Structures are given as C-alpha cells and as structure tokens.
Amino acid sequence: MYSFSKNYKLIRNYIYNNNNNNNNNNNNIMIMTNNNNNNNNMTNNINNTNMVLYGSNMNSMKEYLNFNNINMFKYMINIPHNIMCIMVGILLMDGNIEYTSKKNLDKKDIKNINSKLTLKLIMNNDNIQYMIYLYMLLSHYYLNMPKINMKMMRGKYIKMLELSSMSLPCFTLLRMNYYNKRIKVLPNNLYDYMNYETLAHMIMCNSSYSNKNKGGIYLNTYTYNIKELIMIMNILNIKLNVNSTLHKSKNKYTIYIKNNKLLYDNINKYIIKSMKYKLNYE
C-alpha cells in the first residue's frame, strides 16, 4: 500500500521539475517491452501465494519494462472490479478515453485496438494532490506521472494537469461501454460499479461545495441529459442510500447532494485531506 503523505512532496516536485513531453503513454505496452530481459520482480509476484485484494499488489508498469513475456499484455482486457469502480467515478466526470489505434477500427479484433484513459484538471493545490493520489491508486496502468500543459480558456492561458494511462485494449472495451461515437453515455451495468469510492472520485474530480442549508455538494455533471442524470440519482439512492436532487444552472443540470452523517461515515476514508471541506460534517 502506498503512503500518500510520504510520497506527496516527492511526486509534486517531480511534476514541477520534470515536465517533459514523454510520449511513452501513447505506445503499446507490447512495443515498449519488446526485446528486453525477464524481470525478477514480476516472477516473484507470480510465485507469491499470499492472499491479497485483487489488483492491490500491482505496481507501476515501469518496474516491468524488462519483462520478456509481452504476450500477456495483449490479453489485458479485464479490469479488477475495485479498480473499475475508481475509473467509473473518473469517467462519469472529467475523465475521457481516446483511441490510439485509429485505423480500420471496424476490422480489428479488440485485442489489437488500443485506447488510453486521460484526465485533465485545472492546476491548483487540490487537483495536484488528487492527481498524485489517483496516480498512486492506478499506477500499474501508468508509465508517466501527471504533467503540466497550457490551455486557452476564455482568452487566457491556464495551467492544466494531465494524467494519461498506457494505451491498452482494456480501455477500448471501456470506451465501447461509455461512449456512442464521441458522446459519453451511461452503460446499462452502471449500477454494478457504483459504490462509495466511485462517488468519492466523482466528488474529487469535479464538484463544488455549497454552504447553504448546512452544506452540500454539486456534482458538475453537465455532460449528461436529464434522463441520464435521473439514472445516476436512482442508483445513488437505491444502492448507496444517498438522496439527491436535480438543480438547473442556466440551460444545464447538476446533481445536488446534501451533506449528512451517513454520507460522511461511508465516504470520508476515500476523500483526500485537502478536499474534506466538501463534506463539512464533523
């Protein structure tokens, strides 16, 4: 298990001082590992029979770049359920999946179509800490730490943090479920992947705190139509016992969740320290 407090300063300094445009995350993992030697750490992991939570013993793929059995990555389709719940929380908000194998998509087997999961957030202290936290949770899908880019917004250049995964077929499968061409949609099995950790990442990824009526959280779900938002609200209510309401802002809608003790008790452990103010219940 990674220690957030011990790694925060180290990784933050890395982001600021080593912001190189590294294109490794645009390559296929099979290409990057080609013609290298076996990695003893990978072998030790395979031979270790200790019982652990599925996916929790996987480290950053940087450790395995010398691993020669590259064919295993070609069939890396299934994502562990606990990891999928985190990714779903990101995808429901500002996360996106982009094809990196764009030619003849309709003629290829899914194992030969690569995509990457990306997240771009405005650079501030909260988002820096969240990006680092996310990188440590999902580091076995990443080769590079978050990097800084500039983006034109409302006539100004804004610093953006960007975290991009490796290009893998598993993200292509995920894209097929969460996109209709270039438009995000909600899959029929969303209920199966919604839990308190999913909601925590929705809150940390893109939400705003309201101090009205003892406080609450607006999930900035502007991407979806009313029918889709009601689907999310129903899942939150039925599965997590989280009551929410629909709020209109100009011509778009957001989901409002009022803070309460039950929500705080169930979600607090998943929220990083710098964002606990959004819960505001102690």
Would the pTM count as exceeding 0.75?
yes
Distance between CA atoms of 115 and 169, rounded to whole angstroms?
6
pLDDT at 68 > cutoff 50: no
Residue 245: its pLDDT value, please? 94
Q: CB neighbours (10 Å) of residue 128?
A: 20
pLDDT at 130 > cutoff 60: yes
Distance between CA atoms of 201 and 198, rounded to whole angstroms?
5
Q: What is the pLDDT of residues 196-242, one digit of tens each?
A: 999 999 999 999 888 776 678 999 999 899 999 999 999 999 999 99
What's the whole-number mean pLDDT along residues 178-198?
A: 95
What's the whole-number mean pLDDT along residues 130-139?
A: 92
Q: Which domains does the chain have, with CATH numbers?
A: 1-185 (3.10.28.10), 190-282 (3.10.28.10)
Q: What is the pLDDT of residues 149-170, one digit of tens each?
A: 888 777 788 889 999 999 999 9
Burial of 108 (0-12, 13-18, 19+ CB in 10 A): middle
Q: What is the pLDDT of residues 79-129, one digit of tens each?
A: 999 999 999 999 999 999 999 877 666 666 777 788 999 999 998 989 999
- Collapsing DSSP to helix, strand or coil, 149 comes out as strand
Q: 61-70, 142-151, 265-274: which has the minimum mean pLDDT?
A: 61-70
Characterize the bridge pairing of strands 147-153 and 156-164. antiparallel
More confident site: 169 or 1: 169
